[in-house]
Amino acid sequence: MAGFRSLARQVRDPRGDLALRRYSLRKCLERFAPYGHRATWDHLCTRHGIEPEDRSPDPVRLVGALEELEAARGVWLDYEASFAERRRREKHDGLRRPGTFDDWHRRAWGGHGVARCADPAVHPSAPLAEVLVRLTSALESEPGTACPVCEGADIVWQPDPVSERWTGPVCAGCGILVPRPVLTPEALARSRRARHRDLASAA
């Protein structure tokens, strides 16, 4: 199975069939898609003027979308490397982290769905790398009470009918599933109460 770099070379290959180059970009999203496959594809198409169903898109736009994805992947891989090194030092020094902190990182390893958006049409509009810089900065800081991407405070706990992995606090502003480690216990509890209020008002 081709890796991300091999697929990226296929996207850039000027001799390649445009449909194959587009297909290779979609395959890249199986290796790295911060918002999940569908939402990341929607984001890239929107930002680079690509019709989602166009099988022969402008190659310049196609490469532009790839470059945005690569920049974001670079941010995430740098974060993973620094996180792994920091955790090695902390474990050597006997410093414990909450189990949920390490659990979240294990699930997010590789960056796929690290800022998942359940609705493919609702996602941050900023470049992916900028979003991941904000997210990783929050992961390296003390927990807060707002979304690390858009700074919105309207966060509601949302269950996922398919996978418990995607159940959690969702930002009503930018649509991401907010990583639990970046929120204080009070903020997490507030998101659950907001969920209960929504259910009660809908009843």
DSSP string for 119-144:
STT----S-HHHHHHHHHHHHTS--B
- From 166, 161, 157, 148, select the one nearest 197 (Cα to Cα): 157
Residues near 26 by Cβ (< 8 Å), separated by ≥ 6?
41
pLDDT tens digits, one per residue of 88-116: 887 777 876 655 667 787 888 888 899 99
The answer on pLDDT for 145 being more than 50 is yes
Give whole-number Cα distances, 169 to 20, 34, 153, 203, in Å.
37, 16, 11, 21
The per-residue pLDDT for 4 is 96
- From 186, 87, 201, select the one nearest 143 (Cα to Cα): 186
The per-residue pLDDT for 166 is 84
The per-residue pLDDT for 98 is 55
Burial environment of residue 17 by CB neighbours within 10 A (0 to 12, 13 to 18, 19 or more): exposed
Per cent of the chain over pLDDT 70 is 92
The answer on pLDDT for 144 being more than 70 is yes
Which has more confidence, 94 or 77?
Answer: 77
The average confidence (pLDDT) of the chain is: 90
